Structure 1
Amino acid sequence: METTISSSNFADDASQVKDIVSIFRVQFLAMCRLNTLPWSLLEAELTNGRSSDLILDILNQTCLHTVCLQHPPSVKYRRLFLQQLIKMHESTTTEPLDELYDALSEVLSLEEKSTCYKSYFLPSGGTVSLTESQAVISEGTTGLVTWEAALYLTEWALENPQMFSGRTLLELGSGVGLTGIAICRSCKPRKYVFSDFHPRVLQKLRTNVNLNSHDLSDVSVYVEELDWAEVSEDRLIDIDANTVIAADVVYDPDIVDCLVSLLGRVLKCSTTSGQPDVYIASTIRNPETYSFFKKQLANAGVKHSITGPTTQIFPYNRFSTIELIKLYL
């Protein structure tokens, strides 16, 4: 009996392969945990007879991608990735793929650095590439890496560009700069003030803003040191922010009172266009700390409503509880 395969079957198969390659590209360049990459999907495709061509497509869209060549993930990450890719290839064919071994040989010759690059693809096109510390805590701060709440806040911002278009934004605790750079690239604010306090974070932040500056020419961009406890009313008035945002700033109960005091002053600091909009995104690692934050907001007469993105844009751990709130008096 002859089996007939329709053209739609080929189209579906081609689409699935394209999706697998795209997932590898997005997750690899963002340095997602290797065990979260779609290895099982790849294994299924290899079992169906697709081997060298598919492996080569994945190699070209990861280690040999232009973004990776310019702003590579860590040496260790690339080494482990290539070793797993080679293992999967060897499990389904006896023919070696020279490009794989050449790529691994090159990576093995490199020295590891304390920093690496993570890159994120924007829906509007292009990427945001950031230099980050490989250690979660480095040089006495957690501000040298991108945290999940920053990705969550960025997703919401990209869904709601009208909330930022033509406005002046102040970001508290900007860290390595993902949210601000993405907003400047996609939401067309008039002015964006990145801020942080730790000297090394500010240095890294300036590096990343400069790294992506070719796409920020239409926005007035500033990177400033801002001490939440010391910033004056005059300075807040001078910034004249229509919108104030922050991500992952509620992590230490010792700084909650200082943060709440600042947010209260920001809300009372009317700008030329009225009371500013304030949004805070938080990964709730310690429910007690977050509850204390909300309690102190209420004690200061600050109300809140919960919002958040509806579309998944970036690859990150979605098992964490993340909340985005809008503050108002």
Structure 2
Amino acid sequence: MSHDEDGSAEHDWLTIIAVQYFQTVPLRSFDWPQNILHKLDVSTQDAILRETVQSELGKSYPPEASYSLRFLKAILEKVDATGEEHSEALLQAYLELLSNASGDKLTGDLSRACYKSYPLPTKTSSTVYLTLHEEPLKISQGTTGLCTWEAALRFAEYLLNAAPEVIQGRRILELGAGAGLLGLVCLYMGASSVELTDVDEGVLERLKENVDLNSQMIIDRMARDFGGHQSNPPNIRVSKLDWESVDFDDIASRNAEIIVCADVVYDPILIPPLTSVLGSLLRTPHHGHPTGFREGWVALTMRQEQTYKEFLSALTRNRIRYERIRLDRVPRLFYHEDNVGEVALLHLTVADS
């Protein structure tokens, strides 16, 4: 999913607006390019509309309808502040969204799919998006796994910006994959294979949907940047893995060199089964890895210091060595919510390797 870059200054500010819109950046935090705030004429309004709500991506995989409505309303209000004439196309798009929203309320139909699209770096002059079907609420359908959380975003930024060699050409296993951003980023970066695991059936179905949604984009990336064959499907699969009821022989046999997980350390009850699974995976020899053993990476948001300390203690009890990786100098590619807590990234190896 991409749009071509024309190299003009106009494209730069349009891209700034579009990447925020597709990530559903809250309007209170939206970074409006200053050079357009004084020139919101009809042609500028139409250009914004074409790059967002009425773009191919915006029509096929739109953000939550109420967000799009607020976005267009914000533009109309800014037009009013400049004294410019409203674009007929922009007004029509706003009224259509308003009518649809009113109809949904009357019929009780709240089933419209919502998408978030995350901009990814590319070697070509285009903006490439990883698009995920996500729920607008952090907890939905009885699970936290239907949206992308902060630690997954920061971990992905670390891999994309600072440590691509961790992933490229490696076999990856993700624990608690949720909506799938981290594992799909690994595949996008050139992992030889990725296995996404979770336990909730609804999350697993959503994972499969998001894999299918991004397969062609990843095929194109492999062909363009890694010399892959465009006809070959990405080597990725989704499977169920319950940490509390696990076959350790099955765990040990999984053909992965690198274990990754993000935002899985939030409930102390989950720490013992998680660290037990990590220990089993990491202590299984893997002759394809330079050390002869697998390695692990865990990103977690430090909401409660005590939970973080309990996790570190559990790693030690399971003879897992950890090293904290600095993230403060890693450039940010994605929008991050305010006041969500610091993200810790830990590199894991077995203490007796």
| TM-score normalised by the chain length of structure 1 | 0.88
Distance 1:69 1:115 in 2: 12
2:347 match: 326
Distance 1:115 1:70 in 2: 10
1:81 match: 71
Residue range with higher mean Cα deviation, 17-26 or 116-125: 17-26
Q: Say whether the 8 Å CA contact 1:236–1:269 is kept in structure 2.
A: no
Residue range with higher mean Cα deviation, 116-125 or 308-317: 308-317
2:212 match: 210
Q: Deviations over 1:272-291 (max 9, x none)?
A: 32211100001111221111
Q: Report how far residue 20 of structure 1 moved.
A: 3.6
Q: Report how far residue 109 of structure 1 moved.
A: 3.0
Q: Report how far residue 93 of structure 1 moved.
A: 1.8
1:296 match: 314
| TM-score normalised by the chain length of structure 2 | 0.83
Q: Say whether the 8 Å CA contact 2:175–2:260 is kept in structure 1.
A: yes
2:302 match: 284
Q: Deviations over 1:261-311 (max 9, x none)?
A: 111111111113221110000111122111111122122222211125512
Q: Say whether the 8 Å CA contact 1:59–1:100 is kept in structure 2.
A: yes
Q: Deviations over 1:111-144 (max 9, x none)?
A: 4536400001110252111111122111211000
Mark the runs of 5 or more structure 1 residues left unpaired by the alignment: 1-13
Distance 1:130 1:122 in 2: 13
1:191 aligned residue (183, 190, 193): 193
Aligned length: 311
Distance 2:279 2:261 in 1: 14
2:114 is aligned with what amino acid? C
Distance 1:232 1:308, change over 3 A: farther
Q: Report how far residue 106 of structure 1 moved.
A: 2.1
1:313 aligns with 2:333: yes
1:113 aligns with 2:111: yes
Identity fraction in percent = 31
1:120 is aligned with what amino acid? Y
2:324 is aligned with what amino acid? I
1:3 match: none
Distance 1:227 1:240 in 2: 18
1:71 aligns with 2:64: no
2:29 match: 36
Residue range with higher mean Cα deviation, 241-250 or 101-110: 101-110
Distance 2:157 2:93 in 1: 33
Distance 2:270 2:112 in 1: 28
Q: Report how far residue 74 of structure 1 moved.
A: 0.8
2:4 match: none
> Which runs of structure 2 are paired with 1:26-175 in the superposition (5 Å)?
26-39=19-32, 41-42=33-34, 45-47=36-38, 49=39, 51-110=41-100, 111=104, 112-113=110-111, 115-124=113-122, 125-159=127-161, 160-175=163-178
2:311 is aligned with what amino acid? F
Q: Deviations over 1:41-84 (max 9, x none)?
A: 44x6433x453333333222221222111100011001111111
Q: Report how far residue 180 of structure 1 moved.
A: 1.1
1:35 is aligned with what amino acid? R
Q: Say whether the 8 Å CA contact 2:149–2:263 is kept in structure 1.
A: yes
Mark the runs of 5 or more structure 2 residues left unpaired by the alignment: 1-7, 105-109, 220-231
1:267 aligns with 2:287: no
Q: CA RMSD in A?
A: 1.9
1:11 match: none
Q: Say whether the 8 Å CA contact 1:189–1:219 is kept in structure 2.
A: no
